[in-house]
């Protein structure tokens, strides 16, 4: 069931989103060769818990053991932080995190270059971030879930990349994963209609190679089947009559030219 959030719930999620944005900004500032992913996880948990009433959403969710998901290079999502995972020059690191405040969640992710990365990696990050921007621009009152997926897919595939099809974005609120599912592909005007008060986690996962995936033996880490690199960006947004409000904005603005955390958008004209 899709839940519509009250004004109070939205403001609580926005407060969680600000903590989350600051957490990811802090983590991004500490990403450098020689740092372990466990060090980053410890830093994130400490920072989140320093805010009264806030806790990491991921820790214990479906028995996940850490506060961050840290996924390197060909790892798409759900990488488990470890003291043995040391960042190397040229890596790309996807960092996914959630914050729960007063029983409501926010979810966001970014992919960060470690030291000097290849032009291929730089381009993948740029295109994936653009896919998130496109998805957010399509997430407006009167559009449908399919409009979001179509915008993400078109951005990624036009650049020669593929979108992961077996993992999706999602509704979010009192439960971390709520309806509706938000695939990163689709057809305009298909799926549930977007109405005011819906809160969505939009999260393009884009591979340099094919879209096929596999899960490692730890039963968490999901990687590209062909070994190609992958990037992941995500924001939690709320559908509003004034446009798309980005509840986790601040790490970087989700759309070029956005004033604060609002992306002014109009429904698409696709038939």
* Sign of the dihedral through C-alpha 66, 72, 74, 77: positive
The domain ranges of the chain are 7-263
Q: What are the per-10-residue average pLDDT scores of the chain (271 residues)?
A: 97 98 98 98 98 98 98 98 98 98 98 98 98 98 97 98 98 98 98 98 98 98 98 97 90 36 40 28
Residue 174 and residue 122 in contact, taking contact as beta carbons nearer than 8 Å: no
Please confirm whether the linkage preceding 53 is cis (ω < 30° from 0): no
What whole-number distance in Å separates Cα of residue 223 and Cα of residue 94? 12
pTM over the 0.85 mark: yes
pLDDT of residue 270: 30
What whole-number distance in Å separates Cα of residue 39 and Cα of residue 35? 7
Answer whether CATH 3.40.50.2300 is correct for domain 7-263.
Answer: no
Give 35-51 pLDDT, tens digit per residue: 999 999 999 999 999 99
User: Cα(first)–Cα(last) distance of the chain, in Å?
Assistant: 26
Give 134-165 pLDDT, tens digit per residue: 999 999 999 999 999 999 999 999 999 999 99
What whole-number distance in Å separates Cα of residue 77 and Cα of residue 236? 17
pLDDT of residue 243: 86
CB within 8 Å of 163: residues ≥ 6 apart:
131, 152, 153, 156, 157, 184, 185, 204, 205, 206, 207, 211
């Amino acid at each position: 069931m899709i839940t519509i959030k009250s004004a109070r719930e939205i403001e609580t999620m926005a407060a969680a989103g600000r903590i989350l944005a600051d957490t990811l900004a802090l983590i991004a500032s500490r990403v450098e060769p020689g740092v372990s992913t466990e060090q980053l996880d410890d830093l994130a948990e400490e920072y989140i818990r320093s805010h009264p009433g806030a806790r990491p959403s991921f820790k214990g969710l479906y028995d996940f053991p850490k506060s961050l998901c840290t996924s390197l290079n060909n790892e798409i999502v759900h990488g488990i932080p470890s003291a043995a995972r040391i960042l190397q020059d040229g890596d790309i690191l996807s960092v996914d995190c959630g914050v729960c405040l007063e029983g409501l969640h926010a979810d966001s992710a970014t992919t960060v270059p470690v030291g000097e990365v290849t032009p291929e990696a730089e381009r993948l990050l740029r295109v994936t971030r653009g896919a998130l921007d496109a998805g957010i621009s399509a997430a407006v009152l009167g559009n449908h879930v399919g409009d979001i997926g179509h915008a993400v897919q078109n951005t990624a595939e036009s650049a020669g990349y593929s979108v992961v099809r077996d993992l999706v974005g999602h509704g979010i609120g009192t439960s971390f994963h709520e309806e509706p599912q938000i695939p990163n592909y689709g057809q305009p005007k298909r799926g549930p209609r977007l109405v005011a008060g819906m809160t969505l986690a939009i999260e393009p996962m884009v591979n340099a190679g094919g879209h096929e995936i596999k899960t490692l033996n730890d039963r968490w880490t999901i990687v590209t089947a062909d070994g190609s690199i992958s990037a992941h960006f995500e924001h939690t947004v709320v559908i509003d009559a004034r446009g798309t409000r980005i509840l986790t904005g601040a790490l970087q603005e989700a759309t070029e030219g956005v004033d604060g955390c609002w992306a002014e958008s109009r429904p698409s004209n696709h038939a």
